[in-house]
Structure 1
Amino acid sequence: MTLRLRYVAGVSPSKWLRVWNDLRPELPLEAIVVGEAEQLVALGAGDADIAFVRLPVDTEGLHAVALWEELAVVVLPKEHPLAGAESLTLADLEGEATAPVQADAAMTIELVAAGSGHAIVPHSVARLHRRKDVVAIPVTDAPATQISLVWRRDRDDADIQEFVAVVRGRGAKSSRGSADDPPPMKAAKAAKLAAAERRAAAAKSGTGKKGGGKGGRPAPRTGAGAKQRSRRRGR
């Protein structure tokens, strides 16, 4: 017997799988990634017990627990005039060509890299398909996407409740949710985190250093103020 999990691309369930394997070694967890178009197919057919999905989906007949919001980013070729921006708005992208959306997000980003246009995708998807020839920039006013954990109401047993509790980091009795649960991360906060990631990556690669001094230190001060300080120090 196994607990069958399906998850949409961009979700990384490995940490929960490790906890589950330690907690319930007698009940293996089968985890399979699925495309967004098929994220409820196995669940509806009875071939899966629980799923991480990206909303919107039809949740009729399902229990659903909201987990987190995903920031929207625009993927652009590295040479694009807007590629150096820390963040953008939808208005900034007006008039820009849009890459044809493919069933596989990796192929959509491949078309972006080839110069077919830009693509707006969840930040997690952009990170999953990261390439050296494209950049991902937060779009501050684009709608965020929501990741939820869902399972069938007629398949609501102790094993599923225990896995939901593992994901939420809470006791099994509170796994369906309560008023004191922290809200999902807001898009504005996620945008700040994404911008910080970009600055850190630029600094690591040497492109984000400021000032003219060696090793990124500010250049020595010159002029009258510097001369006065030198005289006070006896130089």
Structure 2
Amino acid sequence: MTGSEVPPSFRLAYVPGVTPAKWVRIWNERLPDVPLTLVAVSATEAFDVLRDGSADAGFVRLPVDGADLSAIPLYTETTVVVIPKDHLVTAADEVSAEDLADEIVLHPLDDTLDWEHRPGRPANERPATTADAVELVAAGVGVLVVPQSLARLHHRRDLTYRPVSDAPVSRVALSWPQDETTDLVEDFIGIVRGRTVNSSRGRRPDPAPASAPAQSKGKRPDTGGAGRKPAAGKTAGKSAGKTAGKPVGKSPRSGFGGARGAKRGKPRRRS
């Protein structure tokens, strides 16, 4: 390998709450010679990481920042409110934004929800991160509304959460720079979209073995004679099937194997 040659690799960014393990496993199975490196980023810095080349693609939260990035929406998350386990809200299976009107609702600087009108009362200061906001909820300072994956990521035994029916939702997407849609990016797109290795849109289909003979359409494979008609004179098995359940080898009259048309001998007189 010369000095100018660089072995192929793939860098995948992901924001908090996204779990890329499933896709990474498939990548390692299909492209074991191309190492994949995970790059953890915050939701606010994810797009800059893609633009400056620190990652080839990334799992981000929509909307995508700028027209220079491509994106494939993947899934939508449920929005929940994080509360102490002894909070009154825990009595309900689901709440609305109006149910939080009297609560202090924390609004961290890395919030990913696009609110038109935020519920509840604002705190005196905005926490720097979602993790900091969760600590304040545990201290009884207020409640926090976040995508469900973030509530799970920052789970604590003294906290729980409930769905918020009318809150804005967060959508996760795969994004990459439009001008850098490389072959490796195409490979990863195929994995995320669930394409198989031999998909017609895949980049690396497995070629058919050269030694395998092509099979004619409509022609069944040889099964060793199964399904063939018996040749003339070979009907013994068929005839035997018709006498199944009947004694074979004895005549019903003479008790011997003679034909039905054979003459019977005269019985001897008794002296």
Matched, 1:24 2:31: yes
Moved over 6 A (4+): none
Equivalent residues of 2:70, 2:178 under 8 A apart:
yes
C-alpha displacement of 1:45: 0.6
CA contact (8 A) 2:39 2:55 kept: no
Instruction: Spell out, residue by residue over 1:185-222, the C-alpha distance to the aligned partner (whole angstroms, 9 max, x if none).
Output: xxxxxxxxxxxxxxxxxxxxxxxxxxxxxxxxxxxxxx
Per-residue Cα deviation, 1:54-104 (whole angstroms, up to 9, x for no partner): 122314111110000011000011121112321000011112112352343
Question: Who is 2:166 aligned against?
Answer: 141
Give me the whole-angstrom Cα distance separating, in 2, the residues matched to 1:174 and 1:143. 35
Kindly tell me: are residues 138 and 3 of structure 1, through their superposed partners in 2, closer, same or farther at Cα, counting changes over 3 Å? Answer: same
Secondary structure at the counterpart of residue 11 of structure 1: coil
Whether 1:161 and 2:186 are equivalent positions in the alignment is: yes
Change (3 A) 1:9 1:58: same
In structure 2, the partner of 1:81 is 88
CA distance in 2, matches of 1:73, 1:166: 30
In structure 2, give the amino acid aligned to 1:33: A
Distance verdict in 2 for CA 1:8–1:72, change over 3 Å = same
RMSD between aligned alpha carbons? Answer: 1.7
Q: Could you tell me which amino acid in structure 2 is paired with residue 53 of structure 1?
A: V
Q: Residue 132 of structure 1: which of 157, 162, 177 is its match?
A: 157
**What is the distance in 2 between the residues matched to 1:109 and 1:44?**
31
Seen in structure 2, the aligned counterparts of structure 1 residues 155 and 130 have a Cα distance that, compared at 3 Å, is same
SS in 1 for 2:64: coil
Distance in 1 separating the partners of 2:177 and 2:168: 27
Which one has more relative contact order, counting CA pairs under 8 Å at least 6 apart? 1
Secondary structure, aligned partner of 2:89:
coil
Is the contact made by 2:187 and 2:202 (CA closer than 8 Å) also made in structure 1?
Answer: no
CA distance in structure 2 between the aligned counterparts of 1:69 and 1:172, rounded to whole angstroms: 28
Following the alignment from structure 2 to structure 1, what is the Cα–Cα distance between the partners of residues 192 and 60? 14
- Relative distance call for 1:141 and 1:172 in structure 2 (3 A) is farther
CA distance, structure 2, for counterparts of residue 11 and residue 162 of structure 1: 20
Whether contact under 8 Å (1:100, 1:111) holds in the other structure is: no
- Give CA-to-partner distance per residue, 1:92-143, whole Å, 9 cap, x none: 1112112352343222111111111011000011011111111110001111
Unaligned runs of 5+ in 2: 1-7, 109-126, 204-271
2-side partners of 1:5 and 1:150: how far apart? 10
Q: For 1:79, what is the secondary structure of its paired residue?
A: coil
Deviation at 1:174, TM superposition (A): 7.9
In 2, Cα distance between equivalents of 1:152 and 1:159: 13
Report the CA distance between 1:162 and its aligned residue.
0.8
The corresponding residue for 1:119 is 144
Structure number having the greater helix percentage: 1
Q: TM-score, normalised by structure 2?
A: 0.62
Task: Name the SS for the 1:148 alignment partner.
Answer: strand
1:108 counterpart SS class: helix
Aligned counterparts of 1:25 and 1:88: Cα–Cα separation in 2: 47
Larger Rg: 2
Question: 1:59 and 1:169, CA in 2 relative to 1: closer, same or farther beyond 3 A?
Answer: farther
Q: Which residue among 163, 174, 177 is the counterpart of 1:152?
A: 177
Counterpart pick for 1:54 among 49, 56, 61 = 61
5+ unaligned residues in a row in structure 1: which ranges? 176-235
Q: TM-score normalised to the size of structure 1?
A: 0.71
Q: Percent identity?
A: 42
- Residues 98 and 116 of structure 1 are in contact (CA less than 8 Å); yes or no, is this contact kept in structure 2? no
Aligned residues: 175
Paired amino acid for 1:49: D
